[in-house]
């Protein structure tokens, strides 16, 4: 019974069945109740913004701390937090004296992976924070996007799309962190903009509530009408290759048709 409970708590603390990336814990977990003031945060915790803790605190107040913190011993009776910083802070705000903890021993490098992956399972995770976590897991743990998709239970398209947010200019990323009501779809349109100035213009409109995803897409097209749009059309027909090159503007089907009709009329007219 005790073993089954310990295993269930361990699975919960590790993110349940979703957490298939299993860094090298060096021991079996021990479930203990630890005084909150004996636990200190990890100074290298990758999370920069804890977000709103009010709902989490209310849940803990009503139901208790169902998911234990993960800690490691650092001195006699003292522990350092490995995973569960938001829960730890919420418990402190509630004035709890002791909390259930799974005591683990983990290598320094693997601690980062545990923290990053726990962050990724937050329901309120900001899209940019998710992108940064993906990027760190790829670069610091030599994973491919396919590895990451398989180990996090996400599609490869979702991973690739989220990583696109890293193309936002650094200054834009800093401002986006405080703009919680901008959707991921809108951020992706900003990331596709060709330069920081366009990203800034889109961000300012979004912050003012004056920008939809469609408007963002149209804004880029209107500002850069000829970027990546073909200005010529080449056709291979029987015994000939026909090319139509426009001095400006896109080589749309209608414009090509009109140009060919004009060229044919010119060829059929009497030579002077």
Cα–chain center distance at 96: 33
| Whether 85 is catalytic | yes
Distance (Å, whole) CA 86 – CA 47: 10
Distance (Å, whole) CA 149 – CA 165: 17
Q: How many CB atoms are closer than 10 A to CB 244?
A: 17
Select from 114, 112, 105, 92 the least CA-distant residue to 38.
92
Q: DSSP letter at 25?
A: B
Query: Residue 49 in contact with residue 132, Cβ under 8 Å?
Result: no
**DSSP-assigned states of every residue in 186-235:** HHHHHHTSSSHHHHHHHHHHHHTT---HHHHHHHHHHHSTTTT---EEEE
Give the 3-state secondary structure percentages of the chain, helix then strand then coil, rounded to 5.
50, 15, 35
Q: Which residue has the tokens 């992956």?
A: 117
Burial grade of 39 (CB within 10 A; 0-12, 13-18, 19 or more): buried
Distance (Å, whole) CA 186 – CA 176: 11
Select from 109, 94, 110, 117 the least CA-distant residue to 13.
117
Catalytic residue among 7, 40, 58, 85: 85
Catalytic residues: 85
């Amino acid at each position: 019974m005790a073993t089954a409970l310990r295993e269930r708590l361990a699975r919960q603390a590790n993110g349940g069945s979703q957490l298939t990336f299993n860094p090298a814990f060096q021991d079996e977990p021990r479930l203990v109740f630890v005084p909150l003031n004996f636990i200190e945060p990890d100074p290298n915790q990758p999370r920069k913004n804890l977000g709103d803790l009010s709902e989490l605190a209310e849940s803990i107040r009503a139901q208790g701390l169902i998911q234990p913190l993960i800690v490691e011993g650092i001195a006699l009776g003292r522990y350092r937090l490995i995973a569960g910083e938001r829960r730890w802070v919420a418990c402190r705000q509630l004035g709890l004296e002791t909390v259930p903890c799974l005591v683990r021993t983990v290598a320094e490098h693997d601690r980062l992976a545990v923290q990053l992956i726990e962050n990724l399972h937050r329901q309120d995770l900001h899209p940019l924070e998710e992108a940064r976590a993906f990027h760190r897991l790829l670069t610091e743990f030599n994973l491919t996007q396919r590895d990451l998709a398989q180990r996090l239970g996400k599609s490869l398209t979702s991973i690739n799309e989220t990583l696109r947010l890293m193309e936002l200019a650094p200054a834009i990323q800093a401002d986006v962190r405080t703009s919680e009501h901008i959707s991921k779809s809108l951020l992706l349109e900003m990331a596709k903009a060709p330069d920081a100035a366009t990203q800034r213009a889109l961000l300012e409109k979004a912050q003012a509530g004056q920008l939809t995803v469609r408007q963002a897409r149209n804004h880029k097209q209107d500002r850069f009408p000829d970027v990546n749009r073909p200005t010529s059309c080449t056709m291979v027909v029987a015994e000939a290759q026909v090319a139509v090159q426009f001095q400006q503007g896109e080589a749309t089907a209608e414009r090509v048709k009109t140009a060919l009709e004009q060229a044919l009329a010119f060829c059929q007219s009497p030579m002077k």
